[in-house]
Structure 1
């Protein structure tokens, strides 16, 4: 009988899931079975997994998120085939200043994690709702929270402290950093791809609908672009990234926008979508940039912000030995990678055009001083490993 863990990655309108066998000493990196419920809050939610093509599902209007979770659990039970589900692991975006390691969730932990919802409103509430509902369904089944902030616990103090009165830092207002499960996987995976070179001055660009950079030395987080919240740093699909706080004061004091309205704008109406007025997806904007000046401007600003932050991070690291692209855009959008690398020629970075178009593992030219890689991330596998380590005595 195999021991299985279900990994959930819960967003506001979708839930990704994967089933991993953690009864083995080395967990297979590919899930036994995985899938996604999408469009949960919309009129036509859909379900699809590695065995079935996507199809529409009825989730009801009153509690669609809970019904989506129940649907996933029912499908999971059908995949057990006599094996045992021993835990559910959750990607939880924010662990605050208290949680730096995965933890089994009880009522006290759940209360703590709710207090961090204002710091990650796009993700935190939904992961916690999933944990709460699943505890109701099966109180004895361990729920393990794995934190995106945990990998950045190694940030030096000079990177953690924000230039505010020091009392703010003592209250927990500091740079936390996010996408930690992705960066933690890179810290394990890059030596497999590049050997000891990965232990040098490495910048990983996690480019998805949310985006950030992590500067590593000796495979530890030494700098990152996201900060107290997941709004800081790079321009993203619908999030603004780094912004003059005076703009926010102006909007609230002069334009009389409420904090709630400002938050809605910063999280949902800014970034590529806000500047272009067309879409949050670079693929859509690349298709229409020739005819749409604002699409062209949005893409130029998006790339400029990535290049600028990589340059700043390389300065903080004292140079650059390796640049790694990962996540949805980083792994699959060759044109965005090309534009970023072209803007970094001052660092000695040169692109191999054919390798980049082929989405090869190494996309830098042979004469390039820094190495440029494309590496697939695996946050779900990291969460499964954490659940295995945390529950090893119970298994």
Structure 2
């Protein structure tokens, strides 16, 4: 005998599922452009659809075997619950993203004139500038370096070049305390017979290392600020906190061109949600290029390089061959000399240690351009 009360409850549950499923499908349709979250959305849709099928089956077999019907119905409700959990998780991600990742594209960017203001003559990094010719578009540069290649030294050259040209520098550190960053930068200044003090008001540090390592072991952002430095603290595990710190310092440097350094990006990626980080990068890079900023990302892991390689026009690889540092430009927005080159302790090019895989024609063509550039420079001297 059919228990009509139970059957009514099943129909009520089925109606609830159908209504919820319709809402989810509508939401997913409106947000289908978020391709990075397509897999999450599909899990939700498939889960709701499966729960409907299970409940329909339970209704059909109820007159035959009510025990199986109840079991199937319970299983359908479990699937529904799992789908709801995925929906809540995805909604939370979107809410967090709206608070910072969309903000840069809506914020009014500084007015930058086209032409010369959108390019730089050199990066300031000896081993990079020796291998390129032509103006460099203000766009992100990625330096991929394995352990022992010291990519941070290239970042210091990059920062110093910006400061001597009147630009501001924002140095985001995830792997070293701010005091060590300062010591390294002072070394670059001393090497060039310069004094760091005159650059202090244009050099800012975002400290993502100390909060994670533990306060008390190193100087805090407050202590650095009392010493006259521009220093903000941000939690490495919170992208929203990091973005707010970047945005605050940007406002302090309003009207100035900015060089931004991420040392290192891999630590940031390790503690961040990959979908959120990817969306944030899209907006950050678009905002930087529109605003005339130029940024440098230090990357340690292959998977992080894969994330960035389609977003940036400039990628440089540092490696070790027989314990000697070498550099190779994988792609660049201007002409560059292909191949693998040894670099010395001053981060300058020594010689080419292997030819490019693309063949001799490209190499010969650039050799001609490079020699002409070198000859012109010597004549000017």
TM-score, structure 2 as length reference: 0.24
Higher-helix-fraction structure: 2
Larger radius of gyration: 2
TM-score, structure 1 as length reference: 0.23
Give the number of the structure with larger relative contact order, counting CA–CA contacts within 8 Å between residues 6 or more apart.
Answer: 2
